[in-house]
């Protein structure tokens, strides 16, 4: 390097001041991994301001910036806890849960906490099982977004505010029940998608008067069963397509908790868009998240799995469908295979698009919708994305009358 720079923090109580000193006033490039580390620090900023439960703020933030493989937290009234770097989000979830709680204490390596003085949760100091990890993530995300929690299985949620979740244990398995009475196994879900997005933030609702009684919904990217159960609760007959085996099996488990609704759901372990065996590119860390056969966002580090695929036109034939009231697509790019002939059978669409990973442009999707006689709305489903609507968002389209 032709220059030197020094980076350090000054902790002044309620603030952390970053100092960057360069030896020469020259242009220099920051390694992209360092930029990523700054992004990770940014996520922790809400939990650093005073009063903060994190007692080693300065060393903790510096270790994140330097890319340390092990990150150690000293949280008030708890012993030091060390996390590996690939456990970053587990660590963030835990800090969030403890910060939001009214009270927490440690007993026999179990953290007991409450958000309301009444309902209590027990969390191991280090979360190892899927249930333990999902509980922390669920409590963090849903509490952040205004959820109340009850732990008594016999409580009637209809007497509580609609953003209330019931979390209880039955036959040694923890179950989450939404205010609409839909149940999920805690170890067979993705808390952010399954509960927080679908039921707490209600991102799939178009109008409160939605009634799909006797109508067909085709759900492409049904994941752990949240959206099929959601649309079935509105009266729809749902064809639920999920290509990833782990997600599909979780979906079937969750259907077993909702037998009445599941009578109106046809689960199909396949991808939609192209016929044949399709290669899906998966995250090396979380293969059940963000898989796609359209693009590879993970490079050489990603995993691959082969999945049966069917085209949109084949879908109509195999499912014996002539009219689709709503086509919901959360399929990481498969919307590029929509065609005008198929869209003749569709009355409305709800599409989650991610144009930052594919050569397909939002303009292409807009054009085919317009040419097929749809009016559309583009909107942002979350406040946390920093991307342009041209790259990432949702589309609701309805055929013009």
The per-residue pLDDT for range 241-286, each reduced to its tens digit, is 999 999 999 999 999 999 999 999 999 999 999 999 999 999 888 8
What pLDDT shows up at residue 288? 83
Beta bridge partners of 353: 393
This prediction has a pTM of 0.89
End residue of a domain, out of 113, 128, 143: 128
CATH of the domain at 392: 3.40.50.150
End residue of a domain, out of 72, 97, 128: 128
What pLDDT shows up at residue 295? 86
Contact 139, 97 (CB under 8 A): yes
Q: Is residue 182 part of a domain?
A: no
Q: Is residue 116 part of a domain?
A: yes
**Residues 117 and 209 reside in one and the same domain:** no
The per-residue pLDDT for range 304-318, each reduced to its tens digit, is 999 999 999 999 999
Q: Is residue 137 part of a domain?
A: no
Residue 309 token pair: 């695929």
**Worst-scoring range by mean pLDDT, 28-42, 48-62, 263-277, 327-341?**
28-42
Q: Is residue 314 part of a domain?
A: yes
**Residues 223 and 83 reside in one and the same domain:** no
Contact 372, 329 (CB under 8 A): no
pLDDT of 193 strictly over 60: yes
The per-residue pLDDT for range 158-188, each reduced to its tens digit, is 899 999 999 999 999 999 999 999 999 999 9
Q: What average pLDDT does the chain have?
A: 90
pLDDT of 4 strictly over 60: no
Question: Going by DSSP bridges, is the β-strand pair 237-241/216-220 parallel, antiparallel, or unpaired?
Answer: parallel
Residues 212-216, mean pLDDT to the nearest whole number: 96
**Residues 209 and 120 reside in one and the same domain:** no
State the Cα–Cα distance between residues 69 and 339, nearest whole angstrom: 47
Domain extent at residue 30: 5-128
What pLDDT shows up at residue 31? 57
pLDDT of 354 strictly over 50: yes
**Residues 210 and 338 reside in one and the same domain:** yes
End residue of a domain, out of 104, 128, 152: 128
DSSP one-letter string for 82-103:
EEEGGGHHHHHHHHHHHHH-SE
pLDDT of 1 strictly over 60: no
């Amino acid at each position: 390097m032709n220059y030197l720079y020094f980076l350090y923090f000054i902790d002044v109580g309620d603030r952390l001041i970053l100092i960057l000193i360069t030896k020469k006033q020259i242009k220099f490039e920051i390694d992209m991994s360092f930029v990523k580390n700054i992004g990770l620090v940014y996520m922790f900023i809400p939990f650093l301001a005073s009063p903060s439960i994190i007692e080693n703020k300065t060393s903790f933030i510096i270790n994140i910036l330097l890319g340390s493989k092990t990150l150690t937290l000293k949280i008030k009234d708890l012993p030091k806890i060390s996390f590996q770097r690939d456990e970053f989000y587990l660590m963030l979830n835990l800090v969030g849960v403890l910060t939001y709680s009214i009270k927490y204490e440690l007993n026999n390596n179990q953290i007991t906490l409450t958000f309301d003085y009444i309902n209590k949760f027990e969390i191991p100091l280090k979360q190892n099982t899927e249930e333990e990890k999902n509980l922390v993530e669920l409590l963090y995300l849903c509490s952040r977004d205004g959820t109340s929690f009850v732990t008594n299985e016999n409580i009637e949620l209809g007497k509580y505010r609609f953003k209330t979740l019931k979390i209880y244990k039955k036959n040694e398995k923890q179950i989450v029940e939404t205010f609409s009475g839909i149940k999920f196994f805690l170890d067979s879900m993705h808390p952010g998608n399954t509960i927080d997005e679908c039921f707490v933030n209600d991102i799939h609702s178009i109008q409160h008067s939605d009634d799909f009684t006797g109508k067909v919904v085709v759900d492409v990217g049904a994941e752990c069963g949240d959206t099929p159960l959601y649309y079935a609760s509105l009266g729809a007959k749902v064809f639920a397509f999920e290509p990833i085996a782990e997600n599909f099996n979780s979906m079937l488990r969750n259907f077993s908790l909702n037998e009445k609704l599941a009578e109106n759901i046809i689960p199909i372990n396949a991808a939609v868009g192209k016929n044949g065996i399709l290669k899906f590119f998966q995250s090396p860390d979380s293969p059940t998240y963000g898989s796609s056969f359209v693009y590879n966002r993970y490079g050489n580090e990603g995993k691959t799995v082969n999945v049966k695929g069917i085209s949109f036109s084949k879908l109509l034939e195999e499912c014996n469908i002539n009219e689709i009231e709503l086509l919901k697509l959360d399929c990481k790019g498969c919307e590029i295979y929509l065609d005008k002939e198929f869209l003749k059978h569709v009355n409305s669409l709800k599409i989650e698009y991610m144009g930052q990973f594919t050569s397909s442009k939002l303009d292409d999707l807009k054009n085919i919708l317009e040419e097929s006689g749809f009016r559309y709305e583009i909107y942002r489903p979350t406040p946390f994305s920093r991307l342009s609507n041209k790259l990432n968002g949702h589309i609701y389209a309805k055929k013009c009358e």
